[in-house]
């Protein structure tokens, strides 16, 4: 396992992801294995996205602007897909999501995917309080060649959008 990488603020340009989209809460996502199913479907349909910019899988999570939002019980949108050129038309059964140019707090999660909640808890909790920043309703993960969800040497880059 690599050393813990500290959170840092980065600015990313706008980008578009095309992939499989669904709405559910965290409990449903885990119990029904919605993410794993969507990831398998995406892998099976990769050939339908020849214009993808790379083979990294993006998991985008968009949360409702709801006071007291709780991801364990309140539904939110997840998109699992690939970055594509802006304006790409999604194949039937897929959707496109464009994220704006934005500041994010970025942190690399090291360890089992099942322990990813620690990283989100740190970013949304103590980091936001100490930095006096606020989240802006969405985040995303990048699953690249380091993505080995069941292994201790797994690494996932996590980006939480920041409100200006």
Pick left, alpha or beta for residue 137 (phi over 0 → left; psi -120 to 50 → alpha; otherwise beta).
left
- Report which DSSP code applies to 123: I
Q: According to the model, what pLDDT value does residue 2 have?
A: 44
For residue range 34-65, list pLDDT tens digits in order: 999 999 999 999 999 999 999 999 999 999 99
Residues 88 and 99: their CA atoms lie apart, in Å, by 14
* Contact status, residue 141 vs residue 157, Cβ threshold 8 Å: yes
Return the percentage of the chain with pLDDT > 90, whole number.
95
| Ordered domains of the chain (ranges, CATH) | 8-163 (3.20.80.10)
pLDDT grade, residue 164 (50/70/90)? confident
Among 31, 57, 74, CA closest to 143: 57
Among 76, 80, 78, 61, CA closest to 25: 76
For residue range 103-138, list pLDDT tens digits in order: 999 999 999 999 999 999 999 999 999 999 999 999
């Amino acid at each position: 396992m690599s050393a813990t990488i500290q959170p840092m603020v980065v600015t990313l340009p706008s980008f578009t992801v095309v992939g499989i989209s669904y709405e559910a809460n965290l409990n449903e996502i885990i119990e029904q294995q919605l993410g794993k199913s969507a990831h398998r479907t995406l892998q099976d349909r990769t050939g339908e996205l020849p214009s993808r910019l790379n083979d990294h899988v993006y998991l985008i999570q968009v949360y409702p602007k709801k006071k007291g939002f709780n991801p364990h019980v309140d539904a939110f949108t997840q998109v699992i897909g690939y970055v594509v050129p802006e304006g790409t038309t999604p194949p039937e059964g897929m959707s496109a999501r464009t994220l704006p140019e934005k500041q994010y707090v970025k942190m690399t999660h090291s360890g089992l995917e099942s322990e990813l909640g620690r990283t989100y808890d740190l970013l949304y909790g103590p980091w936001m309080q100490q930095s006096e920043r606020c989240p802006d309703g969405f985040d995303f993960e990048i699953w690249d060649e380091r993505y080995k969800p069941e292994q201790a040497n797994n690494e996932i880059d996590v980006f939480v959008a920041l409100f200006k």
